[in-house]
Structure 1
Amino acid sequence: MQTLIQTFIERRGDLLTALWQHLGISLAALVIAMVIAIPLAIWAVRRPKLAEGLLQLTSVLQTIPSLALLGLLIPLVGIGTVPAVIALVIYALLPIFQNTYLGIDEIDDSIEEAADAFGMSRMRKLFKVELPIAMPQIIAGIRTAVVLIIGTATLAALIGAGGLGTFIMLGIDRNNTSLLLIGAISSALLAIVLSALIRWFQTAKPKRALTVFGVIVALLAGGGAYSVYANRTETITIAGKLGSEPEILINMYKQLIEANDSHVKVTLKPNFGKTTFLFSALKHDQIDIYPEFTGSVLETLVSGSHAKNLTANQTYQLAKKRLASQDEMTLLKPMAYNNTYALAVTKKFKRQHHLKTISDLNQVESILKPGMTLEFIDRDDGLKGLKKAYGLDITAKSMEPALRYEAISKGRINLVDAYSTDSELRQYNLAILKDDKHFFPTYQGAPLMKQSFAKKHPKVVKALNKLAGRISETDMQEMNYEVNVKNESAATVAHHYLVKHGLLKGGN
């Protein structure tokens, strides 16, 4: 409890920002869903066959997995708030449409006949009879949608829209229960408060309800207007994948760029979920720079075959050439360390079974219980290709990156995929098995950007090239350890490294 309180105090500023982002996304999605679903349901009441089709459509839309929907939206509308709001609107349509339709459709026929006998017009009957009777059921649908929206909105953090999901993702990635609880509890409380507020709107006097609603809208609009005003100068947006290492790197980028050009403001979007999300965002000018790995470029982002066992420089040169020709992008000079894939076991398991290399796993194949990330399982330079190269016949459980380390430390699994700079290797006393067949490609990190951006911003390129050939694997693992285990901020760790190695003055 003490750790939770301390984390809350340290992160209260970040929590307030995330809460405001979450609230803005959620309310925008709710209002849009209501504007679409309620009139559509009213119109469909007298068209039963069409109404059934619309109910089926909204039901099908709600079954689309959140990540899949976000992935489909990114190429169309980019990253950030817009795809997040669209996805949430899609999920909110069913409860609002269904409850509005049923609330009106199930009104007793005698009441409808009485309204007609009084000579009421269709619109007057709707507003004076049907909607008041159906209102409790409509409100119930809206409250259901609110809870659904706020829970699903946590995934907005994966595409740079912020919100309380940032705390949850960081908590999972860094195995930090306090961050996870803060995000989850805040999200639950926000859902309860908004649900209660909607119920209050139902019973409050119209003038008072409209006043409160107007204040909320004004506050959200004011926040958005201030954000536009504050960012009226040129802003460079740098994003990073999920994890401490990308966050450390993008903070280095930010500090080097701003130290080299006082007229530039850098905005960071850390903790994106997938490589393809970031690459798509860069293509569509939603971000300007992100750290990518040479091996990932060749294996995932560009087309064309290549020879195995390329040297580090050959891998970089080929990745840079194909990015330039296929996507008009440039990969700057890479850093020194090779954050390659690896297979790891506990040091105890390694000693017990006399393991040294990946080839040695063939001797203990029958007792292996692998737990690996879904991305590694599905990649040709991951488990797919590894099984062919080493003749392994194993099936791995797909696990969230941080959870696989916790699982191996508790003995639930005994083999994991890893990155050579992961702090968890040190934290959980794990040993990497030697890649004796040199299967894994070289993965050196470097800033990726469009060629047009690089030409327009030579000072940015010059600043980022200061990291070329810098940072060893030991350096990176130690920095990851400081963030993940010692709970230091990525910005602080990045700053210490830059100052220590003379890349930045201590006062900056």
Structure 2
Amino acid sequence: MVASACGGDSDPLGASGDCGGGTDQLTVGSANFPESETVANVYAEALRANGFTIDTKLNIGSREAYVPAVRQCAIDLVPDYTGNLLQYLNKDATATAAVDVNSALITELGTELGIGKPAPAEDSDAVVVTAATAQRWNLRSIADLAAHSAEVKFAAPAEFAERPGGLPGLKKFYNLDIAPANFVPIADGGGPATVRALVEGQVTAADIFTTSPAIVANNLVVLADPLHNFAAQNVVPLFNTAKKSDKMIAVLNAVSTKLTTAELISLNTAVSGDAKTEPAAAAKAWIVAQGLDKPVA
């Protein structure tokens, strides 16, 4: 999810699409991780319910692959994340608050790319602690953790120690100063090894994405980031403007309105939890539950 380098715009799918086709025929793509595939299926199901003819090309790869594919109409629509998409389009972008990220993103899209309404659902980095730690130290925000800096062992990917939104940002914005000896690099992107280290007490806090099912499953606490150290990462539909229609925007915006972080966690839990539901099946069930299986008024 966090790929942000610009990369080349070579055709990643082997052949450019037809940007001149009808706006009621769309190809929906996804990145190569389960959450993206699930949200892509949500878009596909909602659009089908509104009379669109939908093909899917899922698990395309990283942003370096699927953004050029959208530009060339090899796919027409893909879920993305506002902050990382902005960084991909402009590596020097500094906006972090949601309103600033969204405004900057509109400027950077150019004429070929467009977005719908960003969803409330946000899959962003977060400082996460156990409920016991939150209760013991009365923690609500990252700022509350700063007074305990000397006691905090922090787990995150190795690059978190150097990147602006990692340890340097936590120190700059919140005075949370993690000594090098107390930084524990774990290379699973906030996954099972990181969660296990946190739950078992090997570390005090960890960088875990906000839509991880492990947060609810382990009663973990996400500390608030009121100063926006971490860039907003709201789920947003990215599309080729040649395929834009008022009807498509209405459907995508209806989906975005319903797609909260809690709902996205629920979808991720269905797909990646014990049930191991296929993303397409999880998406279809969610669409029905949200009343989006009927035409949008």
Superposed pair shares fold, TM > 0.5: yes
- Post-superposition offset of 1:271: 7.5
1:323 to 81, 100, 109: 109
- Post-superposition offset of 1:409: 2.7
The alignment's TM-score, normalised by the length of structure 2, stands at 0.76
SS of 2:222 mapped into structure 1: strand
CA distance in 2 between partners of 1:383 and 1:469 (Å) = 33
SS of 2:59 mapped into structure 1: strand
In the alignment, which residue of structure 1 is the partner of 2:19?
none
Structure 1 unaligned blocks of 5 or more: 1-70, 83-233
- Post-superposition offset of 1:241: 4.7
- Post-superposition offset of 1:320: 1.7
1:424 paired with 2:238, answer no
Q: Which amino acid aligns with 1:238?
A: G
In the alignment, which residue of structure 2 is the partner of 1:249?
39
CA distance in 2 between partners of 1:323 and 1:239 (Å) = 19
2:169 to 385, 403, 414: 385
- Post-superposition offset of 1:428: 1.9
**CA gap 1:381/1:473 in 2 versus in 1, 3 angstroms:** same
1:334 paired with 2:118, answer yes
Contact residue 116 and residue 237 of structure 2 kept, 8 A:
yes
Contact residue 37 and residue 59 of structure 2 kept, 8 A:
yes
- Post-superposition offset of 1:378: 5.9
CA distance in 2 between partners of 1:235 and 1:428 (Å) = 39
Bigger RCO (CA 8 Å, 6+ sep): 2
CA distance in 1 between partners of 2:59 and 2:85 (Å) = 20
Contact residue 250 and residue 268 of structure 1 kept, 8 A:
no
2:256 to 468, 491, 504: 468
Larger proportion of helix: 1
2:8 to 47, 59, 75: 75
SS of 1:270 mapped into structure 2: coil
In the alignment, which residue of structure 2 is the partner of 1:503?
292
SS of 2:58 mapped into structure 1: strand
Contact residue 288 and residue 450 of structure 1 kept, 8 A:
yes
Contact residue 170 and residue 177 of structure 2 kept, 8 A:
no
Once the two structures are superposed, the pairs formed by residues 250-399 of structure 1 within 5 Å of their partners are 250-261=40-51, 264-270=53-59, 272=61, 274-283=62-71, 285-302=73-90, 305=93, 310=97, 312-324=98-110, 328-373=112-157, 379-394=163-178, 395-399=183-187
In the alignment, which residue of structure 1 is the partner of 2:240?
450
> What is the aligned residue count?
276
CA distance in 2 between partners of 1:304 and 1:278 (Å) = 21
CA distance in 2 between partners of 1:459 and 1:482 (Å) = 29
1:490 to 245, 263, 279: 279
Contact residue 377 and residue 396 of structure 1 kept, 8 A:
no
**CA gap 1:301/1:76 in 2 versus in 1, 3 angstroms:** closer
CA distance in 2 between partners of 1:293 and 1:376 (Å) = 19
Once the two structures are superposed, the pairs formed by residues 181-192 of structure 1 within 5 Å of their partners are none
Q: Which amino acid aligns with 1:242?
A: F
- Post-superposition offset of 1:330: 0.8
CA distance in 2 between partners of 1:357 and 1:313 (Å) = 20
**CA gap 1:307/1:488 in 2 versus in 1, 3 angstroms:** closer
Contact residue 359 and residue 390 of structure 1 kept, 8 A:
yes
Q: Which amino acid aligns with 2:110?
A: A
Q: CA offsets, 1:91-136, max 9 Å, x none? A: xxxxxxxxxxxxxxxxxxxxxxxxxxxxxxxxxxxxxxxxxxxxxx
- Post-superposition offset of 1:343: 0.5
Q: CA offsets, 1:335-380, max 9 Å, x none? A: 2334443100112233344433212333333343322246755653
**CA gap 1:277/1:501 in 2 versus in 1, 3 angstroms:** same
- Post-superposition offset of 1:258: 2.7
Q: Which amino acid aligns with 1:343?
A: V
Once the two structures are superposed, the pairs formed by residues 138-177 of structure 1 within 5 Å of their partners are none
CA distance in 1 between partners of 2:202 and 2:125 (Å) = 22
CA distance in 1 between partners of 2:85 and 2:64 (Å) = 10
Structure 2 unaligned blocks of 5 or more: 16-24
Contact residue 247 and residue 271 of structure 1 kept, 8 A:
no
Bigger Rg, which one:
1
The alignment's TM-score, normalised by the length of structure 1, stands at 0.47
- Post-superposition offset of 1:436: 4.3
Contact residue 150 and residue 177 of structure 2 kept, 8 A:
no
CA distance in 1 between partners of 2:172 and 2:27 (Å) = 43
Contact residue 238 and residue 290 of structure 1 kept, 8 A:
yes
2:188 to 379, 382, 400: 400
CA distance in 2 between partners of 1:376 and 1:452 (Å) = 38
Identity across matched positions, percent: 24
**CA gap 1:437/1:236 in 2 versus in 1, 3 angstroms:** closer
CA distance in 1 between partners of 2:83 and 2:148 (Å) = 29
Contact residue 293 and residue 445 of structure 1 kept, 8 A:
yes
SS of 2:110 mapped into structure 1: helix
Contact residue 167 and residue 177 of structure 2 kept, 8 A:
no
1:236 to 13, 27, 32: 27
